[in-house]
Structure 1
Amino acid sequence: MSESAEPQLHFLEYYEDFLAKVRQLSRKVSESAWQPDFVIGIGRGGLVPAVYMSQQLDLPMLSIDHSSKVPGFADELLAKIAGMSANGTRVLFIDDINDSGGTIEYIRGLLASNGGVAENLHFGVLINNKSSKVEVDLWVDMIDRAEDKRWFVFPWESVGTRDAIIEEAMSVPERLS
C-alpha cells in the first residue's frame, strides 16, 4: 500500500454483531477450566467489550489505559495487577483486536518484570491476527494480516471522524501492506 492510498476501512457497526462476539467470548470463558477473578479492559479498544463481559460473566472489572501513554494509567496499575497475580488472583485482559501484538507484548513484559504469574494472566480479544507476534488465550474471529488488509472500525470508533480513523489506521502502515 502506498503512503498516499487510503486504508480499506471495514466498519463493524452493527451493535448486534458486536454483542454476538462479546457473548461468544464470554461463553468461551464460562466453558473454560480457567476462571478469572477480574476482567481488565485495555484502553481504549478493550474497554467497551470488557464492560459487557464483566456484566455477562458477573465479574468485577478493572481498566488500564495503555493507549494514552500517560504515566499512572497503565504501568503502575500493571505492577499492582502483577502483584495480585502473584498472590493467586486470576485476571482476564480484554482488547478489541490482537493485531501486531505490540500492546499485549508490552503488557505481558511489564507484568513479568513485576513478578506477574503467567498462568494467572490470560488475554482475550474479539479479533485475533494469526500473524501477530504474540498469542492470546481466547478469541472469537481469526484473521491473517498477511492476507487480510482491512482496517477494522469498531462501533465505538465509528463515531470518530473519517480523518481520525484513517490517521489511526496509517499510524502503523505495515499492518495494511
Structure 2
Amino acid sequence: MSNDAPQLHYITSEDFVADVRLVGQKIAADTWKPDFVVGVGRGGLVPAVYISHQLALPMLSVDHSSKVEEFADELLRKVAVKSAAGERLLFVDDINDTGGTITYIRELLAESGCKEDNLRFAVVLNNQRSKTAVDYWANMIDRAEDKRWFVFPWEAMGKGTAIVEEALSVPERLA
C-alpha cells in the first residue's frame, strides 16, 4: 500500500447495527424527545431508518449530498418551519468528521426560523476535533491520530475504486 493510498476501514453490518442501537438508547434515555427523525442523505439515511424504527418515530429525509436544491435546501427550509411550530427534530448522519455538513444544516435551519432548542444531531461516528458538536454518537475518534477512511456497509456495495476516489477527494481528513 503506498503512502498516499487511504487506509480503508470496513465497518461490518453487525458493528453498525450495534452502534446504531447504542445511539438510539442514548436518545431514548435523554429527557429531550424528538417528534421526527430526519435522515441526512446519503450517509445518514440508513442509520436514520434504524433509529426511527427503534424509537417508533416518523422519519423525514433530506438529500444534502445531492446538492440539488429541491431535495436539499428546500426540504431543510420546510423542516425548519416544523421546528418553528414546536416540532422537535433529530437529524441523523453517519459521521461527524469535519463538521461541514452539520454546520451547513444548522446555519440554513437558523436562517429559516428553526428553534435551536427543537434541534439535535446524532451520528454513528464522531470526530472529537470536528468544528461542530453533536448530541449523540456511538463512537468517538480523533482525526489528529486516526486517519482511516471509514466504509459503512452500504458504501461497501460500491466499487473499490469509487471508495478510494471518494476518500482521496477530501485529503485533509487523511493527512
Normalising by structure 2, report the TM-score.
0.97
Q: Which runs of 5+ in 2 are unaligned?
A: none
- Shift >3 Å, 4+ stretches: none
Report what 2:71 is aligned to.
73
1:151 pairs, out of 149, 152, 168, with 149
Report what 2:8 is aligned to.
9
User: What letter corresponds to residue 6 of structure 2 in structure 1?
Assistant: P
Normalising by structure 1, report the TM-score.
0.96
Distance in 2 separating the partners of 1:63 and 1:17: 24
1:51 pairs, out of 46, 49, 52, with 49
2:78 aligned with 1:101: no
Q: Which runs of 5+ in 1 are unaligned?
A: none
Alpha-carbon deviations, 1:88-131, whole Å to 9, x = none?
10010000000010000000010000111111010000000001
2:18 pairs, out of 17, 20, 24, with 20
Alpha-carbon deviations, 1:18-55, whole Å to 9, x = none?
11011100000110000000001000000000001111
Report what 2:60 is aligned to.
62
Distance in 1 separating the partners of 2:120 and 2:165: 30
Report what 1:42 is aligned to.
40
Report what 1:29 is aligned to.
27
SS where residue 127 of structure 1 aligns? strand
1:15, CA displacement in angstroms? 1.5
Distance in 2 separating the partners of 1:61 and 1:90: 12
The number of residue pairs the alignment matches comes to: 174
SS where residue 63 of structure 1 aligns? strand
SS where residue 27 of structure 2 aligns? helix
User: What letter corresponds to residue 168 of structure 2 in structure 1?
Assistant: M
Distance in 2 separating the partners of 1:167 and 1:113: 34
1:122 pairs, out of 120, 123, 134, with 120
> If each structure's helix is expressed as a fraction of its own residues, which one has the higher value?
2
Report what 2:169 is aligned to.
171
SS where residue 67 of structure 1 aligns? helix
Q: How big is the alpha-carbon RMSD for the aligned residues of Structure 1 and Structure 2?
A: 1.0
User: What letter corresponds to residue 45 of structure 2 in structure 1?
Assistant: L
Identity %: 64
